Structure 1
Amino acid sequence: MPPPGYRPRAPEPRDLVAWPSTFGTRFIVLVDTEEEFDWNAPLARDTHGVSAIAALPAAHRRFADHGVPLTYMVDYPIATDAYAIATLAGVLEDGVSAVGTQLHPWVNPPFDEALTPSNSYAGSLPEQLEAAKIDVLTDAIAAGTGTRPIAYRAGRYGIGPNTLRLLAERGYRIDSSMRSGYAYSGDGGPDFAEIGNAAFRTGPDAQLVELPLTTIHTGWLRSGGTRLYRALGAVPKGRGLFARAGLLSRVALTPEDMPLRDALEAIAVATGEGLRLLNFAFHSPSLAPGHTPYVRDAADLARFYAWWDAVLTDLARRGVQAASLEDVIVAAGLPASGAGR
């Protein structure tokens, strides 16, 4: 078994993606397109549904009205449900949105592992089992959508020491499993302490481009970054006190549990510091009330969409344009996918 607590190393300066000047400053939205389940219950193989996918077409139209293509990172229960995959195929007809892969190992065969917290991170599984799960999911998405996915995200950000090589061997070009500055090592997951927000080349022979999920530190002491934020975690109520005092906050670019005011400040900091690609994300079950802790009722859903309306308006005001997955692939100097829509 790979050791728990995998910690990817920071990229070398030469590995950072040099975006062409014509690319400008852009943003991409990746949707964790997955089953709904009880977030407060232990993970299980069969206590889930896919009913929230019915909300996808309306949400897709709202983003399309803003000129924003979406990249749907699809997991096994979605890829193998006839209604869900037909719904997904319908939104992909816009010609600019794309499909990718999201591996939730606990609901993705083969089921040769025990259901434990550590095994919920695919990168903690034995290499052969992780590879088999990637193959089953990749093939299911290709069969369901007619497009072989080339972008990957490990569920729970559970990348491991073998993952990038396994992806490169299977023709993947983009990974977005690393969540800048976050750590999941408490129950056997990875630690991204050394990973910043900039896209970088990685994997064997630098065949992949990593798109870390954007995390911005804001506040007067933001230069302390991940190190200071983690140190505050050892102080009772330390992070909350620093956040309320405007000294240090950690803001991920997602409407899920990230207040609008904080997100707008994070965008201002990110663009002011020269970040060229902002990576936003959310979970597809949040599009219907009652399936995630972030959207429990109709009022939460209204706030979810109000968050996006304000953020997209702010990005447009700053001249930060949306990017499709194909835009990112080409600008990063990777071969055009032809199938990445």
Structure 2
Amino acid sequence: MPPPDAAALIDWPTDFGTRYAIFVDTEEEFDWSAPFSRDAHGLSALAALPDAHRRLVARGAAPAFFVDYPVASDPRAADVLRAILADDPRVAIGAQLHPWVNPPFEEPLSALASYAGNLPPALLEAKLGALTEAIAAAFGRRPLAFRAGRYGLAPGLLGLLARSGYRLDSSVRPGFDYRADGGPDFTRIDAAAWRDAVIELPLSTVFTGLLRRRGARLHAALGAVPRARGVFARTGLLSRVPLTPEGVPVAEALEAIAVALGEGGRLLNFAFHSPSLVPGHTPYVRDGADLARFWRWWDRVLDLLDRRGVRSASLDDLLAALA
């Protein structure tokens, strides 16, 4: 994807301050190492979502949930989220498209077809329509925010989202290149939000280290040299740090937050997958020790944000500021 024009970049209102958002990819659990399947998945991990929500809200956070088709179409899974909605008026339900489990099923099961942006336009529109209607039926409200599963965005998808009533997308993962698997290349894009057919609010990726201003381009070039990225990270020259508790040591996250705030960042966009709330469902939380580490990560990150005066922003807060 090309970078946005400078004129399209969001200038956050002064009274918005410096904020953070948490978007949860609320999805089925499945074997991440297995081939794609229409039905080899479960929804048991969603039982942990209410407690996780309470823990985050108790720290002042206002998470939003990007729900995919298996969750929206399952009555028990929807009940879990409806109970959270009833308890917390700041909660928002967005949409997340996993093409391989989202009807209609006309595409082959493949890595290429797992990126929504690679689907034929008519099929993509049909899948988005089925997802949007399932969420509206389950929760009594149409989703306004969207994320493509596996970050599978293509430029044409933004126009389709606008025509479908969406106002915000958060599918761009700056500094990451998924072309080897058939996906998009985001290495020319940074974390700044911009206006397109809808608002694009990228996830936060921060480059740290002495060479951080060379950022994604240098990091991409290092990928061609065996072990070069690891050497540069260990020696403090360059690290790519996405703001997520999944696979990111807390010390790196704290440094990345300090860098982002020091360089004038106005919004930090955090994310994680709901199956990580239960051990054994993602590569990031394999056992109880990993889960404890997951929550210690949030405690230390939220402590830092509190000390720096960075407040949470709900989806409604974001949309109001962007209006």
Fold-level match, TM-score > 0.5?
Answer: yes
Letter in 2 for 1:72: F
DSSP 3-state at the match of 1:153: strand
Per-residue deviation at 1:9?
1.6
Identity between Structure 1 and Structure 2 (%): 60
Q: Which amino acid aligns with 1:328?
A: L
**Equivalent runs, 1:30-45 vs 2, <5 Å:** 30-45=23-38
User: How far is 1:237 from its partner?
Assistant: 0.5
1:123-162 alignment, distance < 5 Å: 123-162=117-156
Runs of 4+ displaced beyond 6 Å: none
CA distance in 2, matches of 1:330, 1:77: 30
Superposition pairs of residues 78-227 of structure 1, within 5 angstroms: 78-93=71-86, 94-203=88-197, 208-227=198-217
Give a deviation string over 1:93-115, Cα, whole Å, max 9, x none. Answer: 20001000000000000000011
Deviation track 1:224-260 (CA, whole Å, cap 9, x = no partner) reads 1001101111111100001110110000000000000
Q: Which of 236, 242, 249 is 2:226 aligned to?
A: 236
Deviation per CA, 1:171-207, whole angstroms, max 9, x where unpaired? 100000100111111121111122110111012xxxx
Distance in 2 separating the partners of 1:297 and 1:323: 31
Q: TM-score, normalised by structure 1?
A: 0.94
Q: Deviations over 1:30-73 (max 9, x none)?
A: 00000000011011111000000000010000011011111100
Return the alpha-carbon distance in structure 1 between the equivalents of residues 67 and 187 of structure 2.
27
1:282 aligned to 2:275?
Answer: no
Alignment of 1:15-54 (within 5 A): 15-54=8-47
1:12 Cα deviation after fit: 1.2
Determine which of 245, 248, 260 is the counterpart of 2:235.
245
Q: Per the alignment, in what secondary structure is the counterpart of residue 285 of structure 1?
A: helix
Q: Offset of 1:216 from its aligned partner?
A: 0.4
Secondary structure, counterpart of 2:270 in structure 1: strand
1:59 is aligned, of 40, 52, 55, to 52
Is the counterpart of residue 301 in structure 1 residue 294 in structure 2? no
CA distance in 1, matches of 2:23, 2:99: 19
* AA partner of residue 134 (structure 1): L
| Aligned counterpart in structure 2 of residue 259 of structure 1, from 245, 249, 252 | 249
Q: Distance in 2 between matches of 1:178 and 1:81?
A: 28
User: Is the 2:23–2:65 contact (alpha carbons within 8 Å) kept by the matching residues of 1?
Assistant: yes
| TM, length-normalised to structure 2 | 0.99
Residues paired across the two proteins, number = 322
Secondary structure of 2:141 counterpart: coil
Q: Indicate the SS of the match to 1:19.
A: coil
3-state SS, counterpart of residue 240 of structure 2: strand
Whole-angstrom distance in 2 between the partners of 1:147 and 1:317? 36
Q: Which amino acid aligns with 2:256?
A: A
Contact 2:66 2:96 in 1 (8 A): yes
CA distance in 1, matches of 2:16, 2:270: 18
Q: Is the 8 A contact 2:24 2:274 kept in 1?
A: yes
The residue type equivalent to 1:304 in the other structure is F
Tell me how far apart the structure 1 counterparts of residues 240 and 85 of structure 2 sit (CA, whole Å).
Answer: 33
* 1:325 corresponding residue in structure 2: 315
Q: Give me the whole-angstrom Cα distance separating, in 2, the residues matched to 1:18 and 1:82.
A: 41
Partners of 2:188 and 2:217 within 8 A in 1: no
d(CA) in 2 for partners of 1:92, 1:196 = 32
Pick aligned residue for 1:315 from 286, 305, 312: 305
CA RMSD in angstroms, aligned pairs only: 0.7
The 1-side partners of 2:285 and 2:182 are apart by 28
Partners of 2:188 and 2:238 lie apart in 1 by 19
Distance 2:20 2:9 in 1: 17
Cα offset for 1:161?
3.3
